[in-house]
Chains A and B, each alone.
Chain A
C-alpha cells in the first residue's frame, strides 16, 4: 500500500536556526497537510495545501512557518527561526481530494528537538 514518507525521522537543531522538514505524499494525492504533536499533547492542525497554495492554516502557523512543493513529489515545512516551543513531532498527511469523507494518510513523522 502506498505510504507518505517523511525525512528525517529525527532533527536536532539549535534555537534560532532554520529547519526544513520533508515529506513525500502518496503519488496521486493532491491535498497535503502538516500537523504537529507536542509531547503528551493532542495532534494539532497547522496547514493544508492544494494547487501550490495554502488552503487553510491555524493560528499556530505564523510568519515563522512556510510550506512549499518544490517539485512534483516533495512537500516541505520550513520553520525560519526555531524556538524551544517548536519541539514536537511533525506529521505530514495527504488525501486524493478534498471530500470530507476522505481519510488523511499520515507519515511516521519527524521528531524535531530544539536545543
Chain B
C-alpha cells in the first residue's frame, strides 16, 4: 500500500535562509511523487513532481525537491525563503495502478521577516 509521511507539523525559517520540508514515502512499484502548496482559503496548488530522471527536480516559485531512492525520501527545498512562502505544504504519492493521490499530513511552513 502507498503511504506518505511528513514528520514535521511545522517548520519555522527566517527570511533569506534555506528551507527544507521533509517527506518520506512507501510504494510497491515506481513512485510518482508530488509536492502541493495550500494557501489560506485556497485549494491545492501543484508545485513540482518527480517521475524519472534527475534526482533534483525544479518547480514553481524557486522550489526544488531531491529524490533519494535509498532513503525513500523526497524533501522539498528552497535556497532562500520568502515571507510569501508561508503556507501549508503537502507531499503526495501515486503509483501507476491507481488513479488516486495519497497525501501526507502536511507541514506548515512559517517564514519570519
* B-binding residues in A (CB < 8 A): 4, 6, 31, 33, 35, 41-45, 48, 50, 55-56, 58, 91, 93, 98, 100-101, 103-109
Contact = CB atoms under 8 A, between A and B. Distances in A.
Contact of B99 (A55, A91, A101): A55
Contacts, number: 57
B43 A4 contact: yes
Nearest to B44: A106
7 contacts: A4-B43, A42-B90, A43-B90, A45-B100, A91-B44, A108-B43, A109-B43
B101 A45 contact: yes
Nearest to B4: A42
A43 B46 CA distance: 14
Contacts of B101: 45, 104
A45 B92 CA distance: 12
A109 B88 CA distance: 15
Interface of A is mostly: strand
A113 to B, nearest CB: 14
A104 to B, nearest CB: 6
Nearest to B92: A43
A31 B99 contact: yes
B96 A100 contact: yes
B102 A45 contact: yes
Contacts of A104: 46, 101
Given A42-B105, A101-B51, A107-B43, A58 B100 contact: yes
